[in-house]
Amino acid sequence: MSDQQIIFTKNAPAAVGPYSQAIKTPNMIYCSGQIPLTPEGELVEGSITAQTEQACKNAKAVLEEAGSELAKVVKTTIFISDMAHFAELNAEYEKWFSHKPARSCVAVKTLPKNVDVEIEVIALP
């Protein structure tokens, strides 16, 4: 475990379970899924645009704490509550990930706190 570092920042919401915000290895950073919670734990409700923006802000904060940045993201996984949100989500997502990392997007029945989006990222250090 010595080559793995647990990442924690107060600039993103704390993990709500037995997991880390991210794990940094010498070659990769694995970020846990980010939902639209503020760093203070307040839920961002409303449009998928607003929720996606907050999830991306959280991912950015975690990566920065790990010494990386969104431009170094190589893979994202997005969970959304309804594929009807796909186009609106993409419009906001594109602002944060213009370098077009590999991506999966899956509609799921329920997400934590009944939000509409969760985004996890894998990035280079």
For position 99, what pLDDT does the model report? 98
User: CA dist 54 to 2, 16, 25, 27, Å?
Assistant: 32, 17, 25, 27
Which class is 5-123 in CATH?
alpha beta
Q: Cα 79 to the chain's mean position, in Å?
A: 10
Which whole number is the average pLDDT over 28-42?
A: 98
Q: Where are the domains of the chain?
A: 5-123
> Cα-Cα-Cα-Cα dihedral of 115, 120, 23, 95, to 10°?
-110
The model's pTM is 0.96
Which whole number is the average pLDDT over 27-38?
A: 98
Catalytic residues: 105
State the DSSP string of 4-42.
Answer: -EEE--TTSPPPSSSS-SEEE-SS-EEEPPB-SB-TTS-
Q: Which DSSP letter does residue 54 get?
A: H
User: CA dist 45 to 38, 74, 90, 113, 122, Å?
Assistant: 11, 28, 18, 10, 26
pLDDT above 70: percentage of residues in the chain:
99
For position 86, what pLDDT does the model report? 98
Q: What pLDDT, in 10s, does the model give residues 44-83?
A: 999 999 999 999 999 999 999 999 999 999 999 999 999 9
